[in-house]
Structure 1
C-alpha cells in the first residue's frame, strides 16, 4: 500500500487560508515530555487546571444594557451573536483535559530529537558482547501498539461541535520551529467532517484539503483523479507524520455508520488500517447513530476510544440547567427584560428538553418576536406559541428524549438536525432583513438630518452648531422629522422658533423660500424675523 510522497515546501504559500496564523515556537519545560527535550510538546500551551478551563471556556456576545436603547433593527442584528454563545458546564473540563492528554501522549513517542537509534545500537552491542551475563537485553524500547483515541457522542444540539471547536481554539493550529527534522511546520490539529454520504475516499480527500488549507500546500492535487483508496490513505498518513500532527478530529461520524450499512460495512476495516498506519491520535465525534459502529466491531471501539468515550447529553432539570439559563438571561436586548424565574425555567425546559441549541434558538426567536410585535417582553405564552410554530416537526424527538429510550432517540435525531439548520437559517434571514432595514432607516435619517441642518444654516446658525443641535435633537427623539426636528434643534441651539401668528398653514412659505434672495446669513436671519419664524438673538 505504499505510495510516493513528495514533501511540499515548509513556507506557507499565498494559498493558505487567511484565518490560519502560523506561530513561531516558544519553548517551555514541560513534565509531559519526560525530560527528553521534546520540542513538539514544549511548544504547546499547557493545560493548567479545570478551574482555569471554566474561566476561559466561556464565550459570550458583546452586550451592554445601553444596547436596549438602540433601534429595533440594530437589536435584532445583535441577537444573532448569541449563535456562538458557550457556557462552561461540568462536561467540558474532562473533554479539554482528554484532548490535551491525547496530544501530548502521542508526541511522547514521536520526538524529532529521538535517540532511539543510538540506544538500539548500544543495547545490541551489550547483548552481543555478553557483558550482561546470562540476562536477556531489551534491544528495542517499548512503545504502545497503537495510538490512543477518544470518542465523543451526543444527540444533535447538545454542543459537541461547539465544544470541540472551543477546545481546539486553546491550541495554535500550526507552529513553526526554527530547527526540526523533517518538516519545520507542526500541525497541532486538523478537524474534518465526515462526508454526508459516508464516503471513505471523500473523507481522506477532505483531510488532504484541510492540510492544504492550513499550510498553503497542494497535496490533494498531487494525486490526480484516478487515485485509489489505499493510495489516498497512505498519502494522508505520510502528510500527517511529516507535519508532526498532534491529533486528527473527525466530526459527524454518524454519516460513516449510514454509509457502512449501505456498502457492507467497509468503514471499520479502513478505519483500523488507517489508525495503524498514521500513528496519530484520533478523536471521532457523532450522534448516537455512530454507536452502531462500535457495537458491530469491538476492535474499532478499542482503537478509537482507548481514553474512553465521552457522552454529552441534554441538560437535566437541575442546578446546572438553572445556572445555564440564568447566564443566558443576561443577554436580553428587549426593552423590558425579564428576570429568571421558575415559571420561565420550567416552560423552557418543557419545550426544549434541555437541548442547548434549542434553548438558545428559542431564546433568540422570542426576543426577535418581542421586538417586532412591540411587546418588548418575554412570556410563557410567547415561548409556547413559537415552539408550537417552529418545533412541530421534532415533537417525536422531544417525546423520545422524555422517554430516555436510546433506540427512539437514535431514530429521530435526524429530525433535530434538520430543524436546527432551519432555525439557524430563519435567524440568519431575520438578521439580514434587519441589516437592510437598518441601512434604509439610516439613509432616511441622514436625509432628514441634512435638510434640518440646511434649514438651521439658512436661519444664520453656524454649520457646526447646526449639526450639533440636530444630532442632539435626534439622539433625544429619533422619530423627529421636518418642522418638528427643526424646532427641537433650534431649542438645542438656544433659538426660539415660532410659526407666523395667524398664518394659514397652507399659505405659509417654506424656510428655503423665505431666505432664497438673502445675500448674507445676517440678511437671511432678518427675513426670518420679519416672517415671524425666529424670535431672539442668534449672535453667540
Structure 2
C-alpha cells in the first residue's frame, strides 16, 4: 500500500534525559522535552508591524490589520500545561512499544490475529502491557482548543523513518469527527489522515464494498500499530452520534482497545455538549483517567486579561490611536467574556470600520460606542453564548456550543460596503492585453519584498499601481511603489519630529506648542496658559 515517491525524514536519535526513554528509538527520535520557557516561546506569535504603515491609504491598511487573526498568540499557563501533558502522552504510549524488544512483535501478532477474526475483543495471546494514556479537553467555541493543539502537534515531526527497523513512525494523528458522525465515518477519517501523511491508499481500499464496522475497527487498530501512531486526537467529538454508531459502549470499547491493547494514547476534544460522553464508561476505563480532563475556560478578568489586552493594543493601524482605558478594558471583556478569538476579531473589525469611515485622521481611534456597534452588527450569532457566559448559565451553554464565530475575512470585506460613497472618475475604455499582468505583478511584489516591504502591503501597492495605469511597466510599478513607501517614511519622520521630542529640544517647537511654553515658563504653568488664552479664566467664572 505504501508508495515510494515521497521521502520521509530519517530518525535522529537524542538523549531524552531518562534511561527508559533513551533506550526506545520511538521516543529518542522525538524532539527534546520542552521546559516551561521553551513551551511558552513555542506559542508566542506576533505579527509584523511598522509605524510607517499607519500612513498607508485606508484600503491598504485593512490588509495589514488581518495579520492579527493568524499571527497573534499570547501563551497562558493552560497552554503550557497542555503542552506538557501531550508531551507525556506521546512518550508514555511508546514505552510499551519498543521495536528493540520482543514484546513489539507480540503486539503485531496479537493485532494481526484480531484483524483476521474481525474482532477487537478476541483473545489471542496474553496481552502485552500497555503504557498509553488518555485525556479529554473540553471548552466552549472560540476558546482556542484546536489552535493550541495544532501549535503543539506541529512541533513534532509528522513522520519519522527508522532504517534499522524498516519502520515509518507517525508520532501523532489528528482527525475531526464528522458532523452526525458514526464509527464508520470516523474510521474513514483516520484512513484519509494516514493516506495524507504516508501517501498510501487505505481509504480507497477499505471504503470499497460494504465492510462491517468490526472489520473497519480492526483495520484502524492494526494501522495504528504498524505505523507506530503515538497519539490519536479526535477533535469536535461532540458530533459523534452514539445512536448511529451502535451505542456508547461500542464507541468506548473501540477507544479503550486503542489505549489498552494497541497502546495508542487518545485525546478527545469537544465542547460542553461532549461532557456526558466523557463522563461515561470511557472515564471509568482503565488508564482513561491517566491524565484526567482539562476544562478549557475563557480568559479570566485578572492580570491575564490585562496582559492580553496590553499586548494586542500595540497593534493598531490607526493614525490617532488612543491609550487603553479601564472603560475600554471593561467593554471588551463585557462583549467577549474573555474569549480570545472574539476579542481579536472585534478589535480588528473596529479598526477597519473607523479607518474606512473616518474622513479625518484625528477621529481614527477606538471608542466605547464603536465596539458596541461592531458587536451588534457582526457578532449577533454569538450573543446567546456570550449572554449565557455572563450569567453563568451552563445549561444554555450546552445548547449554544456549536455556534460558529464570524469569519474575519468575510466581515472585513463586508466592512467595505459601509464606506461613504465617493464619486469615482470614469476611465477610458482601453483594451489591454492582460496576459502578462500576473507575471509582472509577481515580479514587482518579489522585488518589493526583497527590499523590506511586507508581502501583504507590497501586493496592495502593486495592485494600485497597475489599476492607475493598465499599460504600466515592471520598472514603473516598482518606482511608483517605492515612491509611496518613501513618502510614508517622510510622513513618519515628520510625525516623529513634531510629536516625539526630547524635553531639551522643546524650546525649538512652534509658539503654539504647550511643550515650548512649559520649557520657557518662569512662573507657574497656570499663568502661562492663561496669558496665552489657552484656558478659561476661572476667576471671571467664579465672580
User: Scaled by the length of structure 1, what TM-score is found?
Assistant: 0.71
* CA offset digits 1:397-435 (Å, max 9, x no partner): 112111223222112222xx33x1445542476699999
Work out which of the two has the higher radius of gyration on C-alpha atoms and give 1 or 2: 1
The counterpart of 2:145, out of the listed 160, 166, 186, is: 160
The answer on whether the counterparts of 1:283 and 1:304 sit within 8 Å (CA) in structure 2 is: no
- 1:442 Cα offset (Å): 2.5
Check 1:445–1:221 CA distance in 2 against 1; reply closer, same or farther (3 A cut). same
* Correspondence for 1:201: 184
- 1:146 Cα offset (Å): 6.3
Check 1:429–1:188 CA distance in 2 against 1; reply closer, same or farther (3 A cut). farther
- 1:83 Cα offset (Å): 1.9
* Correspondence for 1:46: 32
- Whether 1:80 aligns to 2:66 is yes
The answer on whether the counterparts of 2:258 and 2:264 sit within 8 Å (CA) in structure 1 is: no
* Correspondence for 1:391: 379
Check 1:246–1:378 CA distance in 2 against 1; reply closer, same or farther (3 A cut). same
The answer on whether the counterparts of 2:221 and 2:262 sit within 8 Å (CA) in structure 1 is: yes
Q: Which runs of 5+ in 1 are unaligned?
A: 1-7, 15-20, 120-139, 454-463, 479-540
Check 1:188–1:412 CA distance in 2 against 1; reply closer, same or farther (3 A cut). same
| More moved, 286-295 vs 270-279 | 270-279
User: Scaled by the length of structure 2, what TM-score is found?
Assistant: 0.70
The answer on whether the counterparts of 1:33 and 1:42 sit within 8 Å (CA) in structure 2 is: no
* Correspondence for 2:534: none
* CA offset digits 1:458-478 (Å, max 9, x no partner): xxxxxx9x9999778655669
The counterpart of 1:37, out of the listed 15, 18, 23, is: 23
The counterpart of 1:400, out of the listed 388, 403, 406, is: 388
* Correspondence for 1:175: 160
The answer on whether the counterparts of 2:258 and 2:265 sit within 8 Å (CA) in structure 1 is: no
- 1:339 Cα offset (Å): 2.8
- Whether 1:57 aligns to 2:80 is no
* CA offset digits 1:466-511 (Å, max 9, x no partner): 9999778655669xxxxxxxxxxxxxxxxxxxxxxxxxxxxxxxxx
* Correspondence for 1:481: none
- 1:262 Cα offset (Å): 9.0
Q: 1:57-456 maps to which residues of 2 (within 5 A)?
A: 57-84=43-70, 85-115=72-102, 144=129, 147-180=132-165, 183-223=166-206, 224-256=208-240, 258-260=241-243, 264-265=247-248, 266-297=250-281, 299=283, 303-374=287-358, 375-414=363-402, 417-418=403-404, 420-423=405-408, 425-427=410-412, 441-446=464-469
Q: Which runs of 5+ in 2 are unaligned?
A: 107-124, 420-455, 489-543
- 1:55 Cα offset (Å): 2.2
The answer on whether the counterparts of 1:271 and 1:300 sit within 8 Å (CA) in structure 2 is: no
* CA offset digits 1:157-214 (Å, max 9, x no partner): 110000000111211111122211xx52111111110011122111110111111001
The answer on whether the counterparts of 2:162 and 2:169 sit within 8 Å (CA) in structure 1 is: yes
- 1:360 Cα offset (Å): 0.8
The answer on whether the counterparts of 1:449 and 1:471 sit within 8 Å (CA) in structure 2 is: no
* CA offset digits 1:357-405 (Å, max 9, x no partner): 1101101111111221134321111101111112233322112111223
The answer on whether the counterparts of 2:43 and 2:75 sit within 8 Å (CA) in structure 1 is: yes
Check 1:361–1:288 CA distance in 2 against 1; reply closer, same or farther (3 A cut). same
Distance 2:299 2:23 in 1: 43
Q: Secondary structure at the match of 1:221?
A: helix
